[in-house]
Amino acid sequence: MTDSHWDVIVIGGGAAGLMCAYVAGRRDRRVLLLEHNADVGRKILISGGGRCNFTNLNAGPENFVSANPHFAKSALARYSPQDFLALVEAHGIAWYEKKLGQLFCQSSAQQIVDLLLHECKAARVQIQTASKVVSVQKNEAGFVVKSESASYRSKSLVLACGGLSIPKIGATDLGYRLLRQFGHDLVPTRPGLVPLTWQPQDQFLSELRGVALDSRVSHPEASFRENTLFAHFGLSGPAILQISNYWQPGEPLEIDFLPDTDFEDWLKQAAAMAPEQHLSNALKSLLPARWL
């Protein structure tokens, strides 16, 4: 096992690792990126339904869930969504805005992976795939990173290992273990951006599966206005996924399925216009028939 020396070693070949590697390379650093999968960018390829929701024009520090909001301010001040969009356009990648500033590739998420690989190559980044890191040690000169087949040394080390969310594409706890090894405090992990599941007493609501409604979902710490989707297992959709980052078991959530309607005024107007009409028939103008 022989050593090789680098200015920067990046562990992890996802979006963050590839981006970090090529930026460091452009700054004339000798960069090695280690990825334990056979290829890089696997999560990019499945993002956005295979089209990669590569940025959001409305991204701002106020939209980030973090114990350190100042980090988001600093990061976005240095590199904005518009900066990445300019890079996408420089590579000739066609894109479209789905809604609320969400930008997707017109064609395939592979284009974003190819963009990042092209930039890494231009910055002379060395990428080693199928390279599983087994240990990292720190000494006075920097870091010693050992894989199953080689040993590497570097002045700087970047952990871009990703989280635990999708084991089937290679997610592991390596990053968490290394952070603990070097004395960092970690926030306890829990699922985020996830649906909410029915309790036994709520199972009757599964009959509404497939119904999606514009809604405002509110928690004491946040409120989101987007669709809520009824599924066989519970509630999903953009509003629910976002509020799940704030909700804790046992806490109440308020869901307004008529966010633009003053229901009391509507009832008065409906009664005045058609006093003989049954309420369920009147409500069909506001809600899906299956709801009633």
In the chain, where the domains are located: 3-52+108-181, 196-291
Task: Return the higher-pLDDT residue of 291 and 220.
Answer: 220
Q: What is residue 70's predicted lDDT score, i.e. its pLDDT?
A: 86
Q: What is residue 103's predicted lDDT score, i.e. its pLDDT?
A: 98
Residues 44-59, mean pLDDT to the nearest whole number: 96
Q: Quick one: 196-291 is in which CATH superfamily?
A: Translation factors (2.40.30.10)
Cα–Cα distance list, 279 to 216, 276, 286 (Å): 23, 9, 11
CA–CA dist 165, 41 (Å, integer): 15
Where does the pLDDT of residue 2 fall: very low under 50, low under 70, confident under 90, or very high at 90 and above? low
> Rounded to two decimals, what is the model's pTM?
0.86
Q: What percent of the chain has pLDDT over 90?
A: 79
Contact 133, 9 (CB under 8 A): no
Where does the pLDDT of residue 276 fall: very low under 50, low under 70, confident under 90, or very high at 90 and above? confident
Among 63-72, 123-132, 252-261, the range scoring the smallest mean pLDDT is 63-72
Where does the pLDDT of residue 270 fall: very low under 50, low under 70, confident under 90, or very high at 90 and above? confident
Q: What is residue 67's predicted lDDT score, i.e. its pLDDT?
A: 78
Residue 176 CB neighbour total at 10 angstroms: 16
Q: What is residue 3's predicted lDDT score, i.e. its pLDDT?
A: 66
Cα–Cα distance list, 73 to 61, 65, 70, 79 (Å): 5, 12, 5, 10
Average pLDDT, the chain: 94
pLDDT tens track for 158-186 = 999 999 989 999 999 999 999 999 999 99
Give the residue carrying structure tokens 């092209």. Answer: 118
Q: Which of 60, 62, 11, 66 is nearest to 40 (CA)?
A: 11
Contact 148, 129 (CB under 8 A): no
Q: What is residue 179's predicted lDDT score, i.e. its pLDDT?
A: 96
Domain 3-52+108-181 belongs to what architecture? 3-Layer(bba) Sandwich (3.50)
Residues 241-253, mean pLDDT to the nearest whole number: 92
Tokens of 101: 């500033």
pLDDT at 78 over 70: yes
